[in-house]
Amino acid sequence: MPEIDPALARWITAPGEDPQDPLLRLSFTLDSPPVSARLLVTGLGTFRAHVNGAEVSPSRLDPGLTDPRHRVQVCEHDVATLLRGGENVLAIELGRGFHAMTTPNVWRWHLAPWRGPVRAWSHLRIELADGTVRAVATGADWRTRPGPVTFDSMYEGESFEPVEDPAAWKLPGYDASGWDPVLVDRPGGGSRRGRRAPEPRMQLQGQEPVVEQGEIVPQVVSSSPQRVVLDMGRVIAGWCRFSLADQVPGTAAPLEFVARHAEKLRADGTVEDENEHLRTDRFQEDRVRLEPGFARSFAPRHSYKGFRYVQLERIGGDLASLEVTGIPAWADLREVSVLRSSEAYLEQFDAAMRASLRNNMHHVPTDSPSQEKNGWTGDALTALAAMTTIDDMRRMLGKWVVDQVDGQRPDGSLAVISPTPDWGYEELSPAPEWTCLLPTLLDELATEYGQREPVAEHGAAAADHLAHELGRRDEDGLISGVLGDYLSPGSPGPAPEDKRLSATLSVARALRSLAHAVDLATVAGGSRDADPWTSSGQEIPGVPAPQSLRAEALALEEAVNAVFLDPEQGRYRDPGTPDSAPLRQTSNLLPLAFGIVPAEHVEAVVSHLVEDITARGGHHDCGHLGVRHLLPVLSTHGQGALAWRVLTAPGAPGWRDWLEAGNATFMEMWEAPRSCSHYFMGTPVTWIHEHVVGLRRGPDGWREFVVAPDPDVPVASISLTRQTDLGEIVVEVDRQERTLEVVVPEGSRAQLVLPGLATTVGPGRHAVAW
């Protein structure tokens, strides 16, 4: 990401120890019309910037959370069309975000080591028609006062109490003579006044911004003069716009109300607005006063919510005069695939995963838009293939890699959430099934997008983390974890089985991922056309040679087999358990998925797995790790029909009941879910893409890919259109007609694998039958 010179401007804030919603304003005069103008602007917290009353960008919640001890993101905008000769106004409004949170919470965001007053930094370079150049920057000449948002919290919501037209201060001609001078941080100043700290790196924003994604007119669930409950029709991430109806006269009394947001309703029809992780009685609640004479509308400016239902409670005025619009908002990602099928359930499943993911795309992938909003790394580790199949993720994942490296401790350890306020190194840790995301991301960026630079820049950090994990091996050569196959049926969270199996295999897989990433990053000539196993002879400083990484992975895999594989029964089980102990599906799935089961035992392990699923009536017994790998393992071993049965089984645990109940997103857990927009239980969508359609990326990218639809899945027709850096791939499968059509882009070739047929084809459209 390009670097920005911090000396271009000064950090400014408002007077007071912890200013709330400060408005920052500068009026300046241009003696000649502007020809071009580039605005660099950022904030610690969130910011909204305006030039002459117009927002400089449609983006929201900028600049995106980072650890500001290391780096701060800066947004860049062309604002030439917003400027004019004469008086101009540059205006910035600040919110708390996760930088200056006051809400007590279990993750300690309110105690983040960087916590301090919200601040703004801005530099505007203007080229004028007379040939001169003007620079306008934040500094001592700015003025400030508190804004109309008297409270804001990413978790609790916002309070809006206007005393004048909220747009007036952004415009030329406004009288700001009574405003206070800003406070200017000295160079090298820390976020806490009086503390000196190294200047963070300032870089242009790397990930896609959050933008509004349309509007929803809600339906009324129930209504009375005191309370109205509205339904958006689906869980969304975003907020509501509250507006007075046009017929309300400007002389009318104010309308005051509380708006509670939730994903679910209680049995009595009220919203279930509860969060056990907060130490406050307020959650996703906006408190609003609309003034008919000057402030007729409000939408939250510095926070977002995850919700389907909104409960309006009257304080003063008439709720019948209020119009409510739902505003979904998430990262402006480019969609790269479209799935179509004769089986409506598959389209519904695919759509639910897309919606669940997008509700969690806010500068980094998060786990839920309501309950947590944290970048849980293990959730993404299982959903990575789905993410990159659905959207172009290179920018967001690239930003997230940097966040994880910035959060790494000197001993190589990583937190289970990123960014982190110094939480998650000991809490719910160690958890390699989460923290091993970093090397996996480097491999994904290199393989999917051909990005070698992140491997070269951050490979050493990934290697340090793996060395940290290897240093935790016990006398069995295994690595412990505290989470495992999270949220398996009947579990309150951590898996009931010995979690060393999943933890050790996660480290082994991460070692192989890093080795592969290094291979791609050091390939001879730097070309993706080259043989990936032909080394250029280059080394990445701080990263062991790929063969050393693979040797460490093999040792871990052999240790898992030595401790967990029962060669007589042909299944994996916890050491010391009796022969009659129930089979744990994930303990047998992972060795199959990662290819470590000795060849002579594969058939027995698969057979035990099939027997257990069948005995359960076609249901799985998996948490977040198992559901990602169960169906692909079944298809790989000739059990495609059983995989279909599991995916479509009614009852719990399963997905069909969720979707048939009218949910458009996935739940977090199988019983009594907290979150209703949680993507890590939707990862069987990858089986749909890779086995029902059959499109699978080659081991080194899209120059060679596989199309191998599972013939045993009883789905008549299905297609997937997939954009890659080499061009568009189209796969159309018709099992009734026993035909396959494939479009291969230039620079690629496809291996077609069908019953009785295996062939390789080059660019163009191809049709085959079997």
Contact 483, 433 (CB under 8 A): yes
pLDDT in tens, 304-339: 999 999 999 999 999 999 999 999 999 999 999 999
640 to each of 631, 695, 710, 767, how far by Cα in Å? 8, 15, 6, 23
For residue 648, the Cα-to-chain-centroid distance in whole angstroms is 27
Sheet holding 764-769, edge to edge: 337-341, 717-724, 727-734, 739-744, 764-769
What pLDDT shows up at residue 537?
Answer: 53
d(CA 393, CA 388): 6
d(CA 154, CA 156): 6
For residue 288, the Cα-to-chain-centroid distance in whole angstroms is 30
pLDDT in tens, 584-632: 999 999 999 999 999 999 999 999 999 999 999 999 999 999 999 999 9
The tokens describing 577, both together, are: 């358990």
Q: What is the mean pLDDT of residues 688-717?
A: 98
Task: Please name which of 338, 334, 300 lies closest in space to residue 155, comparing C-alpha atoms.
Answer: 300
d(CA 231, CA 141): 47
pTM of the model: 0.96
Contact 445, 454 (CB under 8 A): yes
d(CA 70, CA 420): 12
Identify the three-state secondary structure at position 278: strand
pLDDT band for 195, please (50, 70, 90 cuts): very low
pLDDT band for 21, please (50, 70, 90 cuts): very high
pLDDT band for 186, please (50, 70, 90 cuts): low
What pLDDT shows up at residue 190?
Answer: 43
Contact 221, 229 (CB under 8 A): yes
Burial class of residue 86 in the structure, from the number of CB atoms within 10 Å of its CB (0-12 exposed, 13-18 middle, 19+ buried): exposed
CB atoms within 10 A of CB 737: 10
What pLDDT shows up at residue 187?
Answer: 41
Q: What is the mean pLDDT of residues 429-455?
A: 98
Task: Please name which of 604, 597, 593 lies closest in space to residue 634, comparing C-alpha atoms.
Answer: 593
Identify the three-state secondary structure at position 590: helix
Task: Please name which of 274, 279, 253 lies closest in space to residue 262, comparing C-alpha atoms.
Answer: 274
pLDDT in tens, 29-64: 999 999 999 999 999 999 999 999 999 999 999 999
d(CA 692, CA 644): 9
Contact 271, 311 (CB under 8 A): yes
What pLDDT shows up at residue 188?
Answer: 39
Site of tokens 């809490």 = 427
Residue 646: CB partners within 8 Å, gap ≥ 6? 613, 618, 619, 620, 630, 631, 634, 654
d(CA 641, CA 332): 38
pLDDT in tens, 365-398: 999 999 999 999 999 999 999 999 999 999 999 9
Q: What is the mean pLDDT of residues 85-114?
A: 98
CB atoms within 10 A of CB 611: 12
pLDDT in tens, 527-561: 444 443 344 457 899 999 999 999 999 999 999 99
Contact 28, 88 (CB under 8 A): yes
Kindly report the backbone phi and psi dihedral angles of residue 135, in degrees, each rounded to the nearest multiple of 5, phi listed first.
-115, 130
pLDDT band for 473, please (50, 70, 90 cuts): very high
Residue 402: CB partners within 8 Å, gap ≥ 6? 1, 66, 71, 206, 458
For the cut 50, the answer to whether the pLDDT of residue 191 exceeds it is no
pLDDT in tens, 705-741: 999 999 999 999 999 999 999 999 999 999 999 999 9
For residue 90, the Cα-to-chain-centroid distance in whole angstroms is 32
Contact 682, 356 (CB under 8 A): yes
The mean of the pLDDT values for the chain is 95
Single-letter amino acid code for the residue at 496: P
Length of the chain: 770
d(CA 566, CA 260): 54
Burial class of residue 224 in the structure, from the number of CB atoms within 10 Å of its CB (0-12 exposed, 13-18 middle, 19+ buried): exposed
For the cut 80, the answer to whether the pLDDT of residue 193 exceeds it is no
Q: What is the mean pLDDT of residues 336-363?
A: 98
d(CA 91, CA 34): 18
